[in-house]
């Protein structure tokens, strides 16, 4: 066996993604209209999973929101690298990210909530979030 290999705690540490995660929750977010700057939510650690919900009341006029992983992505300034959620819709996936960006898909403000599971991996291990280009947003 080679003595040169050192398994370290970080992005490649499988156990960090298998273990139960530390909860992160923020709700009652006001999502700015599409003409404003996106709302940036920065996590304290690298995430194990992310759940984004458009909490706009179903009785309100349609208030879709966009979410993505960069400001450029949700603005659509490079490509449209975002997911659109209509009133009451939720998206859940296992992503290792340190930021999520939210922006209304129309002229009205929307509302949203985010639930995420935090690994024990410090966010400094993921030096860059995503740029909003090449299909990553």
Does 133 fall in a domain? Answer: no
Question: What pLDDT does residue 45 have?
Answer: 93
Q: What is the pLDDT of residues 30-60, one digit of tens each?
A: 999 999 999 999 999 999 999 999 999 877 7
Tens of pLDDT, residue by residue over 4-29, are: 766 666 777 777 777 888 999 999 99
- Average pLDDT score over the chain: 85
pLDDT, position 106: 87
Rounded Cα gap, residues 67 and 2, in angstroms? 45
For residue 8, what pLDDT is reported? 63
Pairwise pLDDT comparison (137 vs 81), residue with the higher score = 81
Average pLDDT over residues 98-107: 93
Contact yes or no for 106/51 (Cβ under 8 A): no
Q: What is the pTM of this model?
A: 0.84
* Domain-embedded: residue 132: no
Asked whether the beta carbons of 46 and 116 are under 8 A apart, the reply is no
Domain-embedded: residue 48: yes
Domain holding 21, by residue range, is: 14-125
Tell me the pLDDT band of 130, cut-offs 50, 70 and 90: low
> Is residue 99 in a domain?
yes
pLDDT in tens, 70-89: 888 898 866 678 999 999 99
Q: Is residue 57 part of a domain?
A: yes
Distance CA 63, CA 85 (A): 9
CATH number, domain with residue 48: 2.60.120.770
Residue 26 maps to a domain: yes
Asked if the structure places residue 67 within a domain, the reply is yes
Supply 108's token pair.
Answer: 């009205």
Q: How many structural domains comprise the chain?
A: 1
The answer to whether position 75 is within a domain reads yes
């Amino acid at each position: 066996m080679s003595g040169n290999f050192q398994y370290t705690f970080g992005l490649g540490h499988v156990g960090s993604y298998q273990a139960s995660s530390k909860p992160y929750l923020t709700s009652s977010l006001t999502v700015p209209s599409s003409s404003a700057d996106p709302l940036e939510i920065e996590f304290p650690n690298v995430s194990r999973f992310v759940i984004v919900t458009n909490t706009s009341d179903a009785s309100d006029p349609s208030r879709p929101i966009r979410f993505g992983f960069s400001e450029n992505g949700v603005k659509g300034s490079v490509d449209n690298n975002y997911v659109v959620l209509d009133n009451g819709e939720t998206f859940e996936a296992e992503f290792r990210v340190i930021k999520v960006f939210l922006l209304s898909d129309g002229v009205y403000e929307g509302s949203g909530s985010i639930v995420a599971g935090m690994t024990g991996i410090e966010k400094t291990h993921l030096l860059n979030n995503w740029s909003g280009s090449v299909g990553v947003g």
